[in-house]
Amino acid sequence: MDGLITPHGGKLVNRVATGSQLDALKKEASGLSKITLSAKQSCDLEMLGVGAFSPLDGFMGKADFESVCKSMKLASGDIWPIPILLSVNKADAPKVGDRVALHAPNGVLQAVMTVKEVFAHDKKLEIPNVFRTEDEAHPGVKQVMEEGDTCLAGPVDVIEVCVDPKGPEAFLDHRKTPAETRAMFKERGWKTVAAFQTRNPIHRAHEYLCKCCQEICDGLLIHPLVGETKPGDIPADVRMDCYKVLIDNYFVAERTALTVMPAAMRYAGPREAVLHALIRKNYGCTHFIVGRDHAGVGTYYGTYDAQLIFDDLDKANLAIEPLKFEHAAYSKKAQGMVSAKTFPKIEGDQIFLSGTKVRDMLAAGERPPMEFSRPEVADVLIKWATKG
């Protein structure tokens, strides 16, 4: 295809309409029944349209849904860990064969969909399998519980990818599709690319992981998630400022790329780590950093569960290589970043700060120690934490 890793399922999907097809869809949509998507569904629709969810070309049908929940595979046999569903209230469900207009939460016409299936949303199957818990305090579980009881399946034709181009999380300069990142890698001559998934600012331990990968790969894609996240997470525009100032001061520009991933978080821990890996495979990455408690929340998952899950997957079908890292921190004796694999543990040697302590320092206008966070990044966060 482009000399890079083959997209998941063998082909990069593109469901974004252009030209005369786009004009016809807009005209058709004005006469169709309207479905207003949730923020998560709107993010999923963009990911479907640009091919980030290849080989999916639309929201899942019943066979794929059940197979994914039970065995982490699509009906085709390809690995897939989390259902991608369009659930609505039963009273609002159209009939099989109908064409419907899908609108983003802000009212923007986002796509037209052909309804191929209508089936019950089996939450009792999905929730314990995907999240490993049924606790409604879990943000992913809560989200699914609040979704509709009926699912619509079928291919989508996307009209508008970024539904709020002037919004603080549009990042048009960094919003590249899988086809575009692949073209960028090819232009730069990168054959091996490591992806770093993040929904937080990058502190020194994260930076250490990224630079370990740069030693063994041609390039690094810092690929922050900017879609729907839970309340309390640092806003995406603030995080992007942190990434930019870090890259400008501490990374080699020719070996580093920054683009955004408009996906929604599920906080599904191990299964979501696999999803994030497959997405990066579609974006053209060959390696994927899996750190401590990847995509986790609270204490629902073990520290390294998101790494262990990869051991049970078909490596040929997965194709992208997970790079498993242990907890890293700055060692005063070693005078550098270390992990349990690289330096003996000495009582009181490593600099560790709790998230609460860091937030308290930032709110007070104080920089955390430079061994924990780069001062330029800390200054961006202090400005955000102390505003108003």
Task: Report, as residue numbers or ranges, the catalytic residues.
Answer: 199-200
Copy the structure tokens of residue 329: 């921190």
Which tokens belong to 62? 């019943």
**Measured distance CA(370)–CA(375) in Å, rounded:** 6
In this structure, what is the dihedral angle of CA atoms 180, 186, 188, 192, given to the nearest 10 degrees?
110
Nearest Cα to Cα of residue 160 among 285, 305, 8, 37: 37
Signed CA dihedral, 247, 252, 253, 254: sign only? negative
Strand, helix or coil for residue 151: strand
- Would you call 222 helix, strand, or coil by DSSP? strand
Q: How far apart are CA 364 and CA 387, in angstroms?
A: 11
Tell me which residue of 264, 230, 239 sits closest to 377, measured CA to CA.
Answer: 239
DSSP code of 367?
Answer: P
Residue 227's alpha-carbon distances to 42, 85, 178, in angstroms, are 9, 16, 16
- Locate 55 and state its tokens: 């080989």
Cα–Cα distance between 308 and 296 in angstroms, integer?
14
- Round to whole Å and give the CA distance between 161 and 110: 7
* CA gap 144, 327 in Å, rounded: 31
Residue listed under structure tokens 């997965």: 318
- Does the bond joining 55 to the residue before it have cis omega, within 30 degrees of 0? yes
Pairing of strands 256-258, 109-114: unpaired
Cβ(185)–Cβ(193) below 8 Å? yes
- Does residue 261 sit in helix, strand or coil? strand
Would you say 80 and 278 are in contact if contact means Cβ atoms under 8 Å apart?
Answer: yes
Output the furthest CA–CA distance in the chain (Å, rounded). Answer: 69
